[in-house]
Amino acid sequence: MRVVEKHSLSSLKLENKSYHNYQSMLFGTPDAPLSDKSFMSCICGYLWNTFSKVQQLTGEYFAEKGSRPIMKTENIHPTYDLFMKDILKKFKYFHQQCEEVWIQQVEGKL
């Protein structure tokens, strides 16, 4: 059974390993986005929660993997940090796309 500790602002702790916590890099703050039922609020909350789950699962994978090398690096990055930096870029891109759609919708109603 895996022992998981709650992650702090700077690190994610799994068993006896500690990984960098990328959560605050998603929106530039360690705090979860506020929920006011608006389109962007819902999107930001969804991205925040999903990113948190991906980060947790990634940490668990790399903690369990230990020092064994990854054989197919075309499918997965060889380190936790490289994987999370790539995922962070994708999540930021998703956020940017949602903002652009939201801005277009708001401008269309003005």
| Per-residue pLDDT tens over the stretch 5-21 | 444 556 777 666 788 99
Specify burial of residue 4 (Cβ count, 10 A radius: 0-12, 13-18, 19+): middle
**Which candidate, 30, 10, 17, 9, places its Cα nearest to that of 60?**
17
pLDDT at 34: 85
Using a pLDDT cut of 70, give the percent of the chain over it. Answer: 88
pLDDT at 5: 43
pLDDT at 65: 85
How high is the mean pLDDT of the chain? 84
Residues β-bridged to residue 17: 14
Separation of alpha carbons 7 and 105, rounded Å: 36
**Where do the domains of the chain lie?**
11-109
